[in-house]
Structures are given as structure tokens and as C-alpha cells.
Amino acid sequence: MILAWWLAIATIGYHGLAAQTAQPIPRRFSDEITTLSEPGGFFDTDNLISNERTYLLALDKLRELSITGGVYLGVGPDQNFSYIAQLQPTRAYIIDIRRDNLLAHLLFKTLFTISPTRVEYLARLFGRPPPDSMNEWESANIEQLADYIDRTPVNETWIQEVRADIAGELARYRIPLSTADRTTITRFHRTFIKRGLSLRFHSLGRPPRPHYPTYRDLLLGTDGTGTPSSYLATNKAYGFVRSLQQRDLIIPVVGDLAGDHAIRAIGKAIAAQGEQVSAFYTSNVEFYLFQNGTVARYLDNLSHLPHAEESVIIRSVFGRSLRRLPTTSQLPSYSAPVVHSLKDLIEGFKTERYQGYWDLVRPE
């Protein structure tokens, strides 16, 4: 049903789509962001893309566990969309301590909304004009899309058109944005345009490390079977994420996982909808929560999220923590994903079976 709807939408030209979406959207979206968010905090990365080269390997475990539907929660930028495309939740909340992450997701949302196809999305994100004939790109594989972006020059006239479209979309969302917020969104977009597919994760005050993946690496990333599995790898994956974006069902929220408002407010919203969390992608945030001594508040917050027996945490393990994974020698990276039962995580700390971060760093 979703795929049929997507194929129908894909046949509409951009101007036809724009005519359909020109009116301001209901305030529910902006109200949710405002009421669920808490004051932002600092983390020393811009985090425009992930630094987790192997994050797609978690998809194998998620398929094995047959996890689908429900509500998805996640932190960070667009790697969330690949998990969303796999899990097909009814809605998603992206929560991050940085307000900048919310602003990055508003940029992504505008581009999804005005881009019926994968190649148009990438063209707008990277400031390259889309191809003249769109029909042949419907069946293009992800390598062909990457090659198109690589060989197509940046076009300033096109960028100005895209920027005007982005501004128009942001106005429709009715989200209070300061001049600084709008400047940040423009700066993020400029960074994608300037770096192209060579863009890497960036930490403030430190140059990108050579083992960080580029956007190209993540775009072409595969699951454990070697199948390209990013949200831009297929029309179906992109179409599903886009459908949620168009219906305002991917809600970016500013919040601390160990804070006193955002997670609990999201839990109440999920309960009011009669839903449960299917998966919560936490990246390696738990490492810092243990380091900061705030993990008890985080675990208490988790207990207020409606969840089922099969609900999971998806975490990323970095650095020396990898030595605790028996599969480390098989991983071509400095990071690895681990899928962990959400219920087990909560109960394991209540019973003191888990007493520290290192106890969590093991596969299920």
C-alpha cells in the first residue's frame, strides 16, 4: 500500500507537489516539538553524519528478532532513517541534547518533502541540479546515484532555488526559529554542498579521523549479507521514510536521555496513542551517561517508556570496548552495533546484574 502510494507520488513533478503542500501544516507538529523538548545542552560535535561505519549490521539482528512497527526513538542525524526504513514504525521521535540536531533534522525534513525521488533528495542536499530525465533514475542503484553526485558540478543558481524552497517549507512548519537557528540550518546545508560525498563526522577542535566513514561510505553501506541497506538504497526505503516526514510523524526533540522532561513526555505521548516503543537507538550515549554519573536517571526514564517483551536498545560500541565483543576480529571497523533487550536492560540494573557500562558491552 505504501509502495503504491509512493510510486504515485513519484510521478508528480515538483511544482505539482509544491502546489499540494503550500499551505501551513497544523500546529500539532510544532506543538509537539515545543512541549516535548527541554533546554538544550552541549556536545562537542556537529554530528551532521554518523561516525559509525558498521551501524547497518544491526539490521541483521533486527530482522532475526522480527521487530517491526511500534514507535521508534533515536539520537543523532540521518542514520536513524535507515533503521526507520527497516522497522517501519508508525512514528518516530529523534531526541538529542543538541538543538543543532533538531535544526539538522528540520533541514532533512524540508528536503524529503520537496524531493519525490532519491536522486532529487541527494541533488538538493548537495547543491547539484537533478538530471533532466527522471524516468531512468527510478531504477538506478545506489552506486549510480553516488556517481551522479560525484560528477555533477555545484550550481549556485540551483542552490538559491533550493534555499528558497527550504525557507518556504520552514515557514509552513510554524516552529519558532531565531535568526541564529536559520543561520545554522544554512551553514549545515553549505557544509553538505562544500564537502559533497566526502563529508565526514566532525568533532569541534579536532580534525576528522581517517577511520571515520564519509557520506559516500554510509550511502553505499551494506548489512551483514552485503546488501546495500541505507534509506537511500531503494525507492521503497526512501518512500517509507518520506511518507512519515510528509505526515509529520518524525518528530525531532531537544532533550537529554537522563533529563527530567523529554523522555518522560515522549513516553506519555506514546502511551496516549496506545503504542509501544519497538526500538531505541542510543548510539554510544550510554557511555557518557555512566561517565557523568547520570545513568540512574536514564534508566528510570526508560522504565517510563511503554515497551513490550521484544523492544530493543540499539547501541554502538567504540574503542577498547570492542575487545569485549567476541566478533571484534570479524568487524572491519573501530565500532560495532549491539542490539539489547530494553526490558532486560531495565531489569538487569534493578537486580544489579548490570553494574556498569562494561557489563552492557556484549551481544545478546
CB-side exposure of 303: number of CA atoms within 13 Å? 11
> What is the C-alpha R_g of the chain?
20
Distance CA 222, CA 229 (A): 5
Nearest to 32 by CA among 244, 174, 178: 174
What integer pLDDT is reported at residue 11 of this predicted model? 34
What integer pLDDT is reported at residue 81 of this predicted model? 98
CB contact at 8 A, 106 and 173: yes
CB-side exposure of 302: number of CA atoms within 13 Å? 27
Distance CA 364, CA 355 (A): 17
Give the E-state strand segments of the chain in sequence order.
Answer: 71-74, 91-96, 250-254, 277-283, 307-318, 335-341
Hey, what CATH topology would domain 22-105+179-360 get? Answer: Rossmann fold (3.40.50)
Residues 6 or more apart whose CB falls under 8 angstroms from that of 145 comprise 118, 119, 122, 137, 219, 232
What integer pLDDT is reported at residue 16 of this predicted model? 37
Q: Where are the domains of the chain?
A: 22-105+179-360
Nearest to 81 by CA among 250, 205, 248, 328: 250
- Name residue 228's beta-bridge partners: 222
Report the C-alpha dihedral over residues 227, 328, 52, 146, rounded to 10 degrees: -30
Over residues 348-362, the pLDDT tens digits come to 989 988 888 888 876
Distance CA 130, CA 76 (A): 27
What integer pLDDT is reported at residue 1 of this predicted model? 37
Task: Please give the single-letter amino acid code of residue 113.
Answer: T
DSSP one-letter code for 27? T
CB contact at 8 A, 342 and 360: no
- Owner of C-alpha cell 551553514: 187
Residues 6 or more apart whose CB falls under 8 angstroms from that of 364 comprise 61, 338, 339, 340, 341, 344
Over residues 11-23, the pLDDT tens digits come to 333 333 333 445 5
268: cell is: 506519555
- Owner of C-alpha cell 538529542: 96
Distance CA 184, CA 196 (A): 18
Nearest to 124 by CA among 139, 103, 107: 107
172: cell is: 509552513
Distance CA 91, CA 88 (A): 8
What integer pLDDT is reported at residue 21 of this predicted model? 45
Q: What's the distance, CA 181 to chain centroid?
A: 20
What integer pLDDT is reported at residue 341 of this predicted model? 95
Name the stretches of the chain with pLDDT < 70. Answer: 1-26, 41-46, 203-210, 319-333, 362-364
What integer pLDDT is reported at residue 65 of this predicted model? 96
